Structure 1
Amino acid sequence: MLIYRPLLFVDFFRKRFFNQIAGIILISLFLLNQLPLQAQVRPEVALGELFKEVQLRAIFPDSKTFPDCIPLSSPETILQAYQTEKNQANFNLKAFVMQHFKLPSEPATNFKSDTAQAVSQHITTLWPVLTRQPVPEVSSLIPLPHSYVVPGGRFREIYYWDSYFTMLGLQAAGQTQLIQNMVDNFTYLIDKVGFIPNGNRSYYTGRSQPPFYALMVKILRDGKGQQILKTYGPALQKEYEFWMTGASELTESNPANRRVVRLPDGSILNRYYDDFPEPRPEAYKEDVKLAEESGRNKEEVYRHLRAAAESGWDFTSRWFADGKTLKTIHTTDIIPVDLNALLYHLELTLAEVAILNQNNFQENYYRQLAEKRKKALLKYCWSKKEEYFLDYDFKVGNVTAVPSLAATYPLFFKMATPKQAKAVAKRLKADFLKPGGLISTPNHTGEQWDAPNAWAPLQWMSIQGLRNYRQNKLANQVKHNWVEINTKVYKSTGKLVEKYNVEATHLEAGGGEYPLQDGFGWTNGVLLKLLSEK
């Protein structure tokens, strides 16, 4: 794991004029591919006491704002000034922050929607608005070599699993070069960081997100040919090694290590995890408060919260021991259905790469791994009682009690039997289908990944999964409901948003740690892809 440290030479550039020169030098170095990732700041480490004070006193309403700020001089210099000034009678913490930091930019704040446009045209107009160019800065932002699409709103950087669903829309729009750029950015992160982090921020480098990289590469392959798989084979291999790190060290007495878990029959499946058992910098005060109120071991709570963030489902009753409250979160005890379906696909993709490399041994090796994973997932995550795929709690040795749309992933990747797929479809229709689409879970907890909310990526995975098993009537109904609510909200507000209330379609979606965001990368991507279907 690379540790991100502030640039030492920035100390020499104290005045604004010299800061501008330093910025020009940094950009030049970056363009020459000589700017090391170590140039980036991990604000929670580099700013120490100041970071904690700013976050716990909620200087900014959104806890993500301060970690995204750009220091105007080196963190050491800022900390020294803070230590000197903090005990003065007239010291104002917010004024100090505004003096020493530049707030993160909001490039799309002046964008105005034209609801007279068709929603597809609106999305086409939004692509350049949501596209960021590779201009580096000495902050928590990890510089990338190529342009990329961000989700929008407070999400100012690239996000891992969001990007696959964004690429679906780029594919429909014929934006092959931008897809290439984004795949190359993720390949760059795999090479430099060792894996794809949650997003290109230094404070995200303790975790990844659902491993959709292989699916992204296949989108690019659809536009450029089968040899693309061979080109990105080494990066796919490295991604797989990240998720499987520690597997060789598992034993019956030590069944879990980082993201891998050994089951009682010797099978190895995966879980979500995070390497830093600390409060998330971007949700610092919220995590500290929850850990205190839970009465539990704080480091364990932080690990479970961060692991849930790696899942992308932050937060949902899927991860709650009581199925109701965040205080009971225990994410790392759980074998998630969706994660293991994605890794099954990655194993099969590596087998495809081996075929292109004419390596029969590796092809058989990865096919066997995929078959073992499929067998284990069907054994541990299929509930005969519920006739549904459920997450597996390996600590208690049973499936969890919370059904979710993660059950559609084995259908998307064709892992389920026809009988299982039919049972899943029946359950989706009975418990998940609402006027605006499919709810993430049937539970009403106030968390954003529970009812009454619905999300674009889960609609796509569900629709495609149902189609794979000829459950076309239900798939078409889900598509109709989702397209209708997206279009309705766009016509009334001029926005495409992060998530939707699909039970009461006249109300905004709620829950979570921040206000409803508009933009919005994966909503745009999935909607445009669905609209482009013949």
Structure 2
Amino acid sequence: MQRILLPFLPFIIFITGCQETSVPPASATAAPIATEARKSDAQAATKNRQPPDLLFGELFRRVQMERIFADGKTFVDMVPRASVSEIMSAYDAEKGKPGFNLKAFTEKYFAPPMAPESGWSSDGSRSITEHINALWPVLTRKAGADEGAAGSLIPLPNDYVVPGGRFREVYYWDSYFTLLGLQTAGKGELVRDMVENFAYLMDEVGHIPNGNRTYYLTRSQPPFFAFMVEVLAQMEGPEVYREFMPQLLGEHAFWMNGESEVSAETPAVDHVVRIEDGTLLNRYYDAGDRPRAESYREDVLAIRESGRDSQTVARHLRSGAESGWDYSARWFADGKNISSIVTTDIVPPDLNSLLWKLEAMIAAHHPEDGKRRQFQDRAAKRGEAIDKYLYDETTHFYQDLNWTTGKFTDYLTLAGVYPLFVKMVDNRHAADVGEVIAAKFLAPGGVRTSLTETGQQWDAPNGWPPLQWMTCQGLKNYNENSVANQIRDRWMDNNERVYANVNKMVEKYNVEDISLEAGGGEYPVQDGFGWSNGVYLAMRQGW
């Protein structure tokens, strides 16, 4: 079956300074995923869409900067009640009149973000496992859900699970950890639906975006698609690898775009970084360089505080969002302040480990001998480079490398466990990393994200479900079972304690003082919660 290109893509232009960059389509031939009718409906519904900051211009900027809504994501998720031209004509006609009320105008022309009525209530009568399993239908959104041409939601051809709370759309890397729970719960059809949705996005957008919103299209998130395919293959059989091979290749092509252009004079292009000896590794990199629509005010204030070039800082902020760690002081030049953010200067062990896994999977399952050899070579070279450039013999841990200085950032985080999680390191390094985890990261409620409290949500004292899972699995991969079991037990106890108190599973947890809520970030702690539910079920039933 030939791939069907999404008609709207050539028309979505992201204004980045003096340049206009469109998102390129994938070159791989698509696997047969959703039915043609459902794909066609989703394609037609997304034609010509642009993000709300470009659609609504001055109105958008005023709503966000005047903080009409406490959460900047509220406005970008609201559903326009009229066409863009009608709304902007009304705004231009009314904004200068005496008594003009921006909030009233906004609420007149925009409906609240879509939230299906579920009738759900959590009163503590269920056990934590019963609570999680009862939540799956509450967090599931139907195929084709659409908000009209001016809305920011991108329709998908299959049903999908959202994280919960303010997150009303599917998220790329969250979904792998949600799938672990769906797998444990035996929801194979929904696992397939979600894998097919991501394959669809790869085919139509050219990469898997941060989420299915127009304002997320300039970036991806940590590349976990290979792991999702692996989950589906565990449920359905090895033929799944061949079915989704075109999208696995498309994922790799997206992250390696620019590898033919890097040189000693131009060492970084898009996601690709050339180290001094010619070795290629990767970084997080957002194609856009304007403040994020969903966090516009926060980004504008950070840019102003920095005193640096606005487009450069905006790209660092957006690239930090692509990392999934938005934010951690691992991205900050001074280790403290977001105004010093330098995300694209960092070559991180987490991203490169995930790409090693992707290359190893293609090498193991591609039907052509030549391709298998090519990707075996790629994986071998990347593994050697990760050990050579990202393992620090002084700290005995994998670290972020600032490629512009050639030095480690010396900011230890749980990103250092990813090489163990993907099973690419030798036993000596694994034992050393395990000792560092036990000595420095282990806390009463799990493992802390970093060793420093900065007020950022991806730092201490917070613990995050995906990092608990990957740390445990990484240690288990090398028979470091004692520490892995301690982390599992402490994390699950932490989840159960919070659930007993508030009848909710939340997005993140305080692992140092388990009597306190987790904090930091640009929004309050969210409940639901997709990846928390998935990791808890997988730890409880699939350990």
Residue 15 of structure 1: aligned partner: none
SS of equivalent residue, structure 1 residue 38: coil
Residue 99 of structure 2: aligned partner: 90
Shift of 1:105: 2.6
Residue 67 of structure 1: aligned partner: 76
Per-residue CA deviations over 1:124-156 (Å, capped at 9, x if unaligned) read 000001000122222100000111000000000
Q: Contact between 1:46 and 1:76, CA under 8 Å: does it hold in 2?
A: no
The percent identity for this pair of structures is 48
Residue 511 of structure 1: aligned partner: 520
Residue 236 of structure 1: aligned partner: 248
2:281 to 263, 269, 281: 269
Is 1:420 the counterpart of 2:429? The answer is yes
Residue 122 of structure 1: aligned partner: 131
Is 1:300 the counterpart of 2:286? The answer is no
1:384 to 393, 410, 413: 393
Q: How many angstroms apart in 2 are the aligned matches of 1:30 and 1:208? A: 21
Q: How many angstroms apart in 2 are the aligned matches of 1:436 and 1:108? A: 34
Q: How many angstroms apart in 1 are the aligned matches of 2:264 and 2:449? A: 34
Q: How many angstroms apart in 1 are the aligned matches of 2:427 and 2:255? A: 29
Residue 352 of structure 2: aligned partner: 340
RMSD over aligned Cα atoms: 1.4
The structure-2 alpha-carbon separation of the partners of 1:361 and 1:40, relative to structure 1 and needing over 3 Å to count, comes to same
The structure-2 alpha-carbon separation of the partners of 1:3 and 1:207, relative to structure 1 and needing over 3 Å to count, comes to farther
Per-residue CA deviations over 1:191-220 (Å, capped at 9, x if unaligned) read 111110000000000100000001001100
AA partner of residue 300 (structure 1): T
Q: Contact between 1:4 and 1:37, CA under 8 Å: does it hold in 2?
A: no
Residue 467 of structure 1: aligned partner: 476
The structure-2 alpha-carbon separation of the partners of 1:362 and 1:454, relative to structure 1 and needing over 3 Å to count, comes to same
Per-residue CA deviations over 1:432-491 (Å, capped at 9, x if unaligned) read 100100010011000000000000000010000000111000000000000000011111
The structure-2 alpha-carbon separation of the partners of 1:352 and 1:74, relative to structure 1 and needing over 3 Å to count, comes to same
The number of residue pairs the alignment matches comes to 509
Is 1:403 the counterpart of 2:402? The answer is no
Residue 90 of structure 2: aligned partner: 81
Is 1:141 the counterpart of 2:150? The answer is no
Is 1:206 the counterpart of 2:223? The answer is no
The structure-2 alpha-carbon separation of the partners of 1:42 and 1:227, relative to structure 1 and needing over 3 Å to count, comes to same
Residue 166 of structure 2: aligned partner: 154
SS of equivalent residue, structure 2 residue 138: helix
1:280 to 278, 292, 311: 292
Q: How many angstroms apart in 1 are the aligned matches of 2:72 and 2:41? A: 34
Q: How many angstroms apart in 1 are the aligned matches of 2:117 and 2:496? A: 21
AA partner of residue 193 (structure 1): V
Within 5 Å, which residues of 2 pair with 1:349-498? 349-354=361-366, 357=367, 359-498=368-507
TM norm structure 1: 0.93
Q: Contact between 1:69 and 1:103, CA under 8 Å: does it hold in 2?
A: yes
Is 1:522 the counterpart of 2:543? The answer is no
Residue 33 of structure 2: aligned partner: none
Q: How many angstroms apart in 2 are the aligned matches of 1:492 and 1:2? A: 50
AA partner of residue 504 (structure 1): D
Q: How many angstroms apart in 1 are the aligned matches of 2:10 and 2:286? A: 15
Residue 25 of structure 1: aligned partner: none
SS of equivalent residue, structure 1 residue 248: coil
Q: How many angstroms apart in 2 are the aligned matches of 1:234 and 1:472? A: 37
Within 5 Å, which residues of 2 pair with 1:174-193? 174-193=186-205
Shift of 1:29: 8.7
SS of equivalent residue, structure 1 residue 247: coil
The structure-2 alpha-carbon separation of the partners of 1:50 and 1:231, relative to structure 1 and needing over 3 Å to count, comes to same
Q: Contact between 2:319 and 2:343, CA under 8 Å: does it hold in 1?
A: yes
Q: Contact between 2:11 and 2:48, CA under 8 Å: does it hold in 1?
A: no
Residue 23 of structure 1: aligned partner: none
Shift of 1:2: 4.5
Shift of 1:525: 0.2
AA partner of residue 387 (structure 1): H
Residue 6 of structure 2: aligned partner: none
Q: Contact between 1:40 and 1:141, CA under 8 Å: does it hold in 2?
A: no
1:164 to 176, 182, 188: 176
Runs of at least 4 residues off by over 4 Å: 28-34
Q: How many angstroms apart in 1 are the aligned matches of 2:470 and 2:180? A: 12
SS of equivalent residue, structure 2 residue 281: strand
Q: Contact between 2:118 and 2:138, CA under 8 Å: does it hold in 1?
A: no
Per-residue CA deviations over 1:23-82 (Å, capped at 9, x if unaligned) read xxxxx9977555152253411111111111111111110000111111111112111111
Q: How many angstroms apart in 2 are the aligned matches of 1:371 and 1:50? A: 51
Q: Contact between 1:151 and 1:522, CA under 8 Å: does it hold in 2?
A: yes
SS of equivalent residue, structure 2 residue 47: helix
Q: How many angstroms apart in 1 are the aligned matches of 2:246 and 2:91? A: 46
Q: Which runs of 5+ in 1 are unaligned?
A: 6-27
AA partner of residue 289 (structure 1): L
SS of equivalent residue, structure 1 residue 513: coil
SS of equivalent residue, structure 2 residue 260: helix
Shift of 1:276: 0.7
1:55 to 58, 64, 68: 64
AA partner of residue 77 (structure 1): E
Residue 5 of structure 2: aligned partner: none
Per-residue CA deviations over 1:246-275 (Å, capped at 9, x if unaligned) read 110011010000100000111100000101
SS of equivalent residue, structure 1 residue 40: coil
Residue 259 of structure 2: aligned partner: 247
SS of equivalent residue, structure 1 residue 73: coil
The structure-2 alpha-carbon separation of the partners of 1:221 and 1:3, relative to structure 1 and needing over 3 Å to count, comes to same
Q: Contact between 1:170 and 1:178, CA under 8 Å: does it hold in 2?
A: yes
